[in-house]
Amino acid sequence: MPLNLVVVSAIAYVALLFAVAFWAEGAARRGRARWLRGPLIYTLSLSIYCTAWTFYGAVGTAARTGLEFVTIYLGPTLVMVGWWALLRKIVRIGQVQRITSIADMISSRYGKSTALGGLVTAMAVVGTAPYIALQLQSVTLSFAALAGPAQASLNDTALIVAIGLAVFTILFGTRNLDVNERHNGIVTAIALEAVVKLVALMAVGAFVVWGIAGGPSQTFELIEAAPIATWELQPGRWLGLTMLSAAAFLCLPRMFQVMVVENSDERHLATASWAFPSYLFALSLFVVPIAAVGLQVMPAGSNPDLFVLTIPLAQEQDALAMLAFLGGFSSATSMVIVACIALATMMSNHVIVPLWLAMREQGATVSGDVRHVVIGARRASIVGLLALGYVYYRFTGGGAFLASIGLISFCGVAQILPALLGGIFWRGATRAGAGAGLILGFAVWTWTLFLPSFGGGVAVSAATMAEGPMGFDWLRPHALFGISGLDPLLHAFFWSMSLNTLAFIAGSLLSKATAIERVQGAAMVNVFRFGSGARGWTPATVEAEDLLMMAQRILGGREAQRLFRAEAVAQGKRGFLPDVTPDFLTHLERQLAGSVGAATAHAMVGQITGGLVVSVEELMRVADETAQIMEYSARLEAQSEELSRTAAQLREANEKLTALSIQKDAFLSQISHELRTPMTSIRSFSEILRDGGDMTPEQRSRFSGVIHDEAQRLTRLLDDLLDLGVLENGQVSLRLETVPLSGIIDRSLSASGAVTRMAVARDPAREQVFIETDPDRLSQVFINLIGNAVKYCQAPDPRLDIRVRHAGAGLDIDFVDNGAGIPRESQDVIFEKFARVGDPDAAGGAGLGLAICREIVHRLGGTISYLPGQDGAAFRVHVPLRQNLSAGLAAQ
């Protein structure tokens, strides 16, 4: 067949796909052709599971290993039919949490972990690269088979195919950024390709059965005769491969993309659960006949992987061969496109954007800014992925069997399964467990399957393969822990999944989940308890009135109405309710954000526009904002409390000042009385003496004496007043010495003249204690107390007890007389200035003496108090044995 025809056909086919994708996207945007988002297209889109590997490789596998190829269909079929509930749960979670990829799923479940998202992305990229290489290889091989190997270099063809696929994927996969990451155009194009695949394979099958073999019965005879029928089934390998394909079906990024992310209604799953297995059945119907007939009619040594193509060619059925080529081409391109879109989303969301955000100095960014980065990141990812696939293709030399490359990939992505299933069924699963399982499983896969797949001596040396790294033979890639003789694939699958699961469970049990992990765990495990799944929403269904009502509550009536009316005018509408356009929603959200914060505004608009379920992350952000607002209001509250406290303090201070002013009046009045009394005597007697008249010399002398005494009394009073003033202002300086207490008491007794007037009982032994104090000042206190006893003790045989005892870090010195004592009601006030015992207008008070005593004792770091309940008047002076500066200061 001429090369040009093949190239033109391929290009024409791609152009058709372009047209379909473009049309479907437009129709979806305009809300038309609803069947485009119906269960049929959904089911057909799932067929990206069947890649070129299935299209060509199934026949090859059948030709080489009999019915083993069935396992690849059996796994997904069992999942679709038997574990439909699991798929529904994953789809529901995907809808509710707005999951964008398998990496996002794992990351979301384990507390929005960027690290896990990145890890899964890395695993998916490494696991998918061989798969892309596989598609390139199949397209290249089919191209060569159709056009003849001499016509073009295989490597050049592969490169051109890779570039072409990159362009197509970029054009349709990154045209716009949708929150839900849905791509209606691509999905429709893929559905069309699914039909082409099926039709092509069935056409070839029909041709083989009826055109070559001559009917079903002859075909069965051929099958009976072919070696296919005699291959023994290995139950272990069957079971392993079925499990592997089932696991891969759930974990492949591209399957997650079409099954969960592109799903617009979870009811479509119900249709797909029977329709997709039927599709698989139809696709596999003619695999064995084609293989059997191919083995029969094709020359020995021809590649059974290409029977689908080479049989029609050999029979000179060029049109059929072209159809078969397009079928294989469809299988390859649809897989590559969807895988690239899924992986590009993962790479941009979980690797590139987080890195870019981390590198920027400020975290907050303009949304348009991020948009450019995201789109750029996706385009670069797509190019990178295809480049990686091409490199892998070149490395493996394009020689490996199609099926074996596919299985290596399957096993790699299957490592995600424990974290995925554990995450949605076990609330105890933790980030640490998931990370440990993923890393260990992936490491084992890399060592036992991926690196050896490059062939002898490329990535792992032959010596290492045979003897293990550095002589550790239990680490031999194909015989871990010394268990040899297993099929390498099953060996890798068994060990990687076992160790992965073990590490996952152990890690989860040993580590503690964070708050967001627990929240996400509960949300995913119990996803069916939380309402019905989200349906897609269209802005057209949103009532502008609802939005206005909400906006009024937040912005206030006038401002909200102004906003809406301005928009209505801008749209050229009458009235004040504008059409709800995405632009208007964005604008409104920004306005609201000014009042309630961005996350809250987004959540509110989302709620009203319907269907948008608020994610945990958004709720957390809402909570953050609320907390900030509450903190602000708490600050205001605190300030207002502070103000009222200050006001109360001012009031109190004012009351104190008033009270002080009253006290001052009373004090002045008291002083005036205390001063006037001696002055009265002085004046009166001096007038008597001055006026002369008859007086005896004794009288004259006595009157002069009174004048003298009263003048002395006045002086003493003034001295006391000044002394007290100095003491109260804290201006007194103490002259500290360490002296025996007995000396101070001796001095005080003799100065007060008590010994001659009353019996004094002392305790000489206890008085022999040294204290650090100001002896003059302490003695002044003692003189005052002893003097009071002398003055006021009216007992017939007056007596004074002076008792000393240690109390804490100081001494108690008690002065107890046997007089009448001080009445209970006066005991509280005797230390006040001019406190008088009895009626406030009555005279005869203790004057300033005790007030001075109290000030002095405080300066000395001690206390003075009246001891009630003794025989007579009893005062206790407590002074510290040692002075320390802080105590003295504290006393001020």
Partner 1 sequence: MSDGKRVLLIEDEPNIIEAVRFILSRDGWRVSTHADGADAVDAVRARAPDLVILDVMLPDRSGYDILADLRADESMRELPVLVLTARGQQKDRDLALRLGATEFMVKPFSNQALLEAVRLIAAPSTEAPQ
What is the CA 174 to chain-centroid distance, rounded? 30
Of the candidate spans 42-50, 539-547, 667-675, 882-890, the one that interacts with partner 1 by CB under 8 A turns out to be: 667-675
Q: How far is the CB of 678 from partner 1 (least distance, A)?
A: 8
Closest residue by Cα to residue 165 from 316, 364, 18, 288: 18
Q: How far is the CB of 756 from partner 1 (least distance, A)?
A: 22
626 near partner 1, judged by CB under 8 A: no
688 near partner 1, judged by CB under 8 A: yes
120 near partner 1, judged by CB under 8 A: no
Beta strands in 752-809 (DSSP E): 759-761, 770-773, 799-807
| Choice between 535 and 683, CB closer to partner 1 | 683
- Both structure tokens of 624: 């953050």
| Choice between 498 and 677, CB closer to partner 1 | 677
Identify the residue among 526, 571, 586, 669 touching partner 1 (CB under 8 A). 669
485 near partner 1, judged by CB under 8 A: no
Of the candidate spans 21-29, 58-66, 578-586, 673-681, the one that interacts with partner 1 by CB under 8 A turns out to be: 673-681
Provide the 8-state DSSP code for 533: P
Closest residue by Cα to residue 92 from 265, 348, 293, 319: 265
Binding mask 819-838 for partner 1 (x = CB under 8 A): -------------------x
Identify the residue among 676, 716, 791, 806 touching partner 1 (CB under 8 A). 676
| Cross-strand partners of 305 | none
Identify the residue among 68, 266, 517, 710 touching partner 1 (CB under 8 A). 710
| Choice between 57 and 678, CB closer to partner 1 | 678
Q: How far is the CB of 711 from partner 1 (least distance, A)?
A: 12
Q: How far is the CB of 820 from partner 1 (least distance, A)?
A: 13
* Residue written as token pair 């991926």: 450
| Choice between 651 and 708, CB closer to partner 1 | 708
Q: How far is the CB of 825 from partner 1 (least distance, A)?
A: 13
Angstrom distance (rounded) from CA 140 to CA 137: 5
Which residues 6+ apart lie within 8 Å of 110 measured at CB? 116, 419, 423, 429, 430, 431, 434, 435, 517, 520
Closest residue by Cα to residue 271 from 455, 110, 80: 80
Of the candidate spans 142-150, 408-416, 602-610, 702-710, the one that interacts with partner 1 by CB under 8 A turns out to be: 702-710
Rg (CA), the chain: 51
706 near partner 1, judged by CB under 8 A: yes
| Choice between 572 and 693, CB closer to partner 1 | 693
Of the candidate spans 32-40, 268-276, 686-694, 772-780, the one that interacts with partner 1 by CB under 8 A turns out to be: 686-694
Interaction with partner 1 in 319-378: which residues (CB under 8 A)?
none
Answer whether 452's CB lies under 8 Å from 527's CB: no
For 770, phi and psi rounded to 5 degrees?
-90, 135
Provide the 8-state DSSP code for 83: T
- Both structure tokens of 129: 């690269």
Closest residue by Cα to residue 162 from 136, 201, 200: 136
Contacts with partner 1: how many residues (CB under 8 A)? 29
704 near partner 1, judged by CB under 8 A: no
CA neighbours within 13 Å on the CB side: how many for 58?
27
For 739, phi and psi rounded to 5 degrees?
-135, 160
684 near partner 1, judged by CB under 8 A: yes
Q: How far is the CB of 691 from partner 1 (least distance, A)?
A: 7
| Choice between 797 and 839, CB closer to partner 1 | 839
Which residues 6+ apart lie within 8 Å of 59 measured at CB? 69, 287, 290, 291, 294, 304, 305, 307, 308
CB atoms within 10 A of CB 892: 8
689 near partner 1, judged by CB under 8 A: no
Closest residue by Cα to residue 344 from 564, 110, 589, 121: 121
Q: How far is the CB of 684 from partner 1 (least distance, A)?
A: 4
Give the strands of the sheet with 759-761, arranged side by side.
Answer: 759-761, 799-807, 810-817, 874-880, 863-866
* Residue written as token pair 């929150």: 179
Closest residue by Cα to residue 335 from 394, 399, 255: 255
| Choice between 710 and 812, CB closer to partner 1 | 710
Element (H, E) at 865: strand 863-866
Q: How far is the CB of 674 from partner 1 (least distance, A)?
A: 8
Q: How far is the CB of 848 from partner 1 (least distance, A)?
A: 16
Q: How far is the CB of 840 from partner 1 (least distance, A)?
A: 8
Answer whether 864's CB lies under 8 Å from 853's CB: yes
Of the candidate spans 57-65, 438-446, 492-500, 692-700, the one that interacts with partner 1 by CB under 8 A turns out to be: 692-700
Q: How far is the CB of 843 from partner 1 (least distance, A)?
A: 4
Binding mask 839-868 for partner 1 (x = CB under 8 A): xxxxxx------------------------
| Choice between 640 and 661, CB closer to partner 1 | 661
Which residues 6+ apart lie within 8 Å of 870 measured at CB? 816, 821
698 near partner 1, judged by CB under 8 A: no
| Choice between 302 and 681, CB closer to partner 1 | 681
Identify the residue among 691, 698, 797, 825 touching partner 1 (CB under 8 A). 691
673 near partner 1, judged by CB under 8 A: yes
651 near partner 1, judged by CB under 8 A: no
Element (H, E) at 812: strand 810-817
Q: How far is the CB of 758 from partner 1 (least distance, A)?
A: 22
Identify the residue among 342, 605, 682, 786 touching partner 1 (CB under 8 A). 682
Of the candidate spans 259-267, 643-651, 669-677, 739-747, the one that interacts with partner 1 by CB under 8 A turns out to be: 669-677
Angstrom distance (rounded) from CA 783 to CA 849: 10
Angstrom distance (rounded) from CA 514 to CA 523: 14
Identify the residue among 279, 685, 831, 875 touching partner 1 (CB under 8 A). 685
Give one word for 31, left, alpha or beta, with left for phi > 0 and alpha for psi -120 to 50.
left
* Residue written as token pair 């080479």: 310
Q: How far is the CB of 680 from partner 1 (least distance, A)?
A: 4
**First and final CA of the chain: distance in angstroms?**
113
Of the candidate spans 233-241, 405-413, 615-623, 684-692, the one that interacts with partner 1 by CB under 8 A turns out to be: 684-692
Identify the residue among 582, 692, 693, 764 touching partner 1 (CB under 8 A). 693
Of the candidate spans 66-74, 512-520, 587-595, 687-695, the one that interacts with partner 1 by CB under 8 A turns out to be: 687-695
| Choice between 361 and 694, CB closer to partner 1 | 694
Collapse the DSSP code of 237 into the 3-class scheme (helix H, G, I; strand E, B; otherwise coil) and give the result.
helix
| Choice between 661 and 884, CB closer to partner 1 | 661
| Choice between 502 and 695, CB closer to partner 1 | 695
State the amino acid at position 745 in one-letter form.
Answer: I
Answer whether 539's CB lies under 8 Å from 609's CB: yes
CB atoms within 10 A of CB 870: 17
Q: How far is the CB of 783 from partner 1 (least distance, A)?
A: 24
Q: How far is the CB of 805 from partner 1 (least distance, A)?
A: 36
Angstrom distance (rounded) from CA 878 to CA 581: 86
**DSSP symbols for 709-756:** HHHHHHHHHHHHHHHHHHHHHT------EEEEHHHHHHHHHHHHT-TT
Identify the residue among 640, 658, 680, 712 touching partner 1 (CB under 8 A). 680
Residue numbers at the binding site for partner 1 (CB under 8 A): 669, 672-673, 676-685, 687-688, 691, 693-694, 699, 706, 709-710, 838-844
